[in-house]
Amino acid sequence: MKELSFWRDHFPFETQTTSALPPRCDIAIIGAGLTGLSTALHAARSGASVVVLEQERIGWGASTRNAGMALTGLKLSPEQLVKRYGRERARKFYRASLDALAFVQNLIEHENLACDFHRCGDLCVAYRRSHYQGLIASQKFMREEFEHHTELVSAAEMARELGTKVYHGGLIDPLSAGLHPAKLVAGLARCAHEAGVQMLEATPVEECHRAQKGFELKTSHGMLHAKEVVVATNGYTPAALRHLRRRIIPVGSYIIVTVPLGRALAEELLPTNRMVYDTKNFLFYFRRTPDERLLFGGRTSFTPMRDREAANILRADMLSVFPQLHDIEIEYAWHGNVGFTFDQMPHLGEQNGLHYAMGYGGHGVVMSVYFGYWLAQKLLGADTHAFPFFELQMPARFFYRKRPWFLPLAGAYYRVLDRWF
């Protein structure tokens, strides 16, 4: 079994990077995931000199480790959004998630980012019978409050969607899509390079201080003076950036991928080829890969765990859903950090003079690219009033500075909820 991301192994791309750190630039971006690359591309297209600094390799973080589910909506449900922000603001936030999908699809088509993007729809499946009642209520709510149309699948109809009997019905959102994360990262990095962005790998930013007319960044390759700095480190935000670090909670998510199944077995498991996730707190998510494997992910634990150990748990979980895979080998196992925030909303803005975008909470594949675009607009002085997320403040809590010591407690709480409700 390979302990690395299937996507990266399936599409081992090289990026045009440089090892020479320039002495100064207009915009320095810390982190070369989807957020950083999108911000860089859109800022450089308007003439700014942009340098991206990545501690490992381009796309090393969550951006090449995710499941490639380009989903509608946010971490908070439409009902939760309305309850917290009122109908009008909730509609704007939800609308932005749909706009993000359209924006990314348009970018992919316009820039020839061949990344297997397909609007296959997502399927949220009910883990308990009572959860299906919740899906019925959600469908009605989305239709009446957001004019967003989804399709219910009753337990009796589930065989047309999934080759398993464990779920009690589901809800299809036909707008969601699937894509190949490593191909998307590679395509964005190519465009950024062509737009004049200088990208450095193996260049961690160790310190960042205010200086005359900007900031001084201490990196492993020397010092860089930047007029503006963007922090695009999400679930990998280092302790050195303490004002942001105490606002973002890294939570591990784990994935396994089988050997190729062949078209017939893959179609037996997921006949409609959708992006699937269930209604638990410790949720399972799964999909077919472009070469007809099963990708199966889950949280497994709120405390760090070795990939091999997590793979054993996930394999048992996978067999609980698809017992027909009993003799099928697991070829890949890996994990990555999902960036959560205390209010479960994604955020972008300015903190102590540093610009940032992060906290997508498992909905970052398209949101990160869209947030990068809007952050670039802000840096370029464009009117950003139309984007509702600039109004939100990213909350901190007095009890969290560097180490998310409370995660095991949260994990235990959610396990109890999953067991009984």
Ligand X SMILES: Cc1cc2nc3c(=O)[nH]c(=O)nc-3n(C[C@H](O)[C@H](O)[C@H](O)COP(=O)(O)OP(=O)(O)OC[C@H]3O[C@@H](n4cnc5c(N)ncnc54)[C@H](O)[C@@H]3O)c2cc1C
Please give the structure tokens belonging to residue 387: 């984007």
CA 129 to chain centre: 29
CA distance 411 to 421: 15
Question: Of 39 and 168, which has the nearer Cβ to ligand X?
Answer: 39
CA 212 to chain centre: 35
Residue from 238, 250, 298, 411 touching ligand X (CB under 6 A): that is 238
Residue from 104, 192, 358, 376 touching ligand X (CB under 6 A): that is 358
Question: Of 318 and 338, which has the nearer Cβ to ligand X?
Answer: 338
Query: Taking contact as CB under 6 A, which single stretch among the options 10-18, 82-90, 104-112, 335-343 is the one that binds ligand X?
Result: 335-343
Q: Is 345 helix (H, G, I), strand (E, B) or coil?
A: coil
CB of 101 to ligand X, least distance (A): 10
Residue from 73, 121, 169, 336 touching ligand X (CB under 6 A): that is 336
CA distance 273 to 179: 12
- What sign for the dihedral angle of Cα 123, 129, 130, 136? positive
Residue from 96, 205, 269, 311 touching ligand X (CB under 6 A): that is 205
CB of 1 to ligand X, least distance (A): 17
Residue from 39, 97, 233, 258 touching ligand X (CB under 6 A): that is 233
- What sign for the dihedral angle of Cα 134, 142, 77, 121? positive
| CA 168 to each of CA 103, 131, 165, 198: distance values in angstroms, whole numbers, following the listed order | 34, 8, 8, 51
Q: Is 328 helix (H, G, I), strand (E, B) or coil?
A: coil
Query: Taking contact as CB under 6 A, which single stretch among the options 14-22, 191-199, 354-362, 382-390 is the one that binds ligand X?
Result: 354-362
CB of 144 to ligand X, least distance (A): 26
Planar angle of CA 372, 375, 379, nearest 5 degrees: 135
Under rule CB under 6 A, residue 363 binds ligand X: yes
Residue from 27, 44, 51, 67 touching ligand X (CB under 6 A): that is 67
Under rule CB under 6 A, residue 248 binds ligand X: no
Residue from 27, 30, 229, 348 touching ligand X (CB under 6 A): that is 30
Question: Of 33 and 169, which has the nearer Cβ to ligand X?
Answer: 33
Question: Of 31 and 169, which has the nearer Cβ to ligand X?
Answer: 31
- CB atoms under 10 Å from CB of 386, counted, come to 11
Confirm if 72 and 173 have CB atoms less than 8 A apart.
yes
Residue from 61, 73, 169, 411 touching ligand X (CB under 6 A): that is 61
Under rule CB under 6 A, residue 31 binds ligand X: yes
CA distance 378 to 356: 11
Tokens 């062949």 sit on residue: 262
Sequence-distant (6+) residues with CB within 8 A of 132 are 126, 154, 155, 168, 169
Residue from 21, 28, 69, 171 touching ligand X (CB under 6 A): that is 69
CA distance 218 to 225: 9
CB of 156 to ligand X, least distance (A): 29
Under rule CB under 6 A, residue 73 binds ligand X: no
Under rule CB under 6 A, residue 97 binds ligand X: no
Query: Taking contact as CB under 6 A, which single stretch among the options 13-21, 58-66, 260-268, 288-296 is the one that binds ligand X?
Result: 58-66
Which among 384, 349, 380, 357 is positioned nearest to 43, based on CA atoms? Answer: 380
Q: Between residue 250 and residue 309, which ones bind ligand X under the rule CB under 6 A?
A: 253, 255, 297
- CB atoms under 10 Å from CB of 175, counted, come to 19
Question: Of 132 and 181, which has the nearer Cβ to ligand X?
Answer: 181
Which among 145, 131, 174 is positioned nearest to 78, based on CA atoms? Answer: 145
CA distance 186 to 359: 22
Under rule CB under 6 A, residue 198 binds ligand X: no
Residue from 28, 34, 76, 330 touching ligand X (CB under 6 A): that is 34
Number of H helices, E strands in the chain: 10, 18
| CA 283 to each of CA 127, 165, 234, 255, 301: distance values in angstroms, whole numbers, following the listed order | 9, 17, 21, 12, 11
Q: How many residues bind ligand X (CB under 6 A)?
A: 42
CB of 305 to ligand X, least distance (A): 13
CB of 157 to ligand X, least distance (A): 25
Residue from 15, 17, 39, 55 touching ligand X (CB under 6 A): that is 55
266: amino acid identity, one letter: A
CB of 277 to ligand X, least distance (A): 8
Q: What does the binding site for ligand X look like in residue numbers (CB under 6 A)?
A: 30-36, 53-56, 60-63, 65-69, 71, 204-205, 232-236, 238, 253, 255, 297, 336-338, 358, 360, 362-365, 368
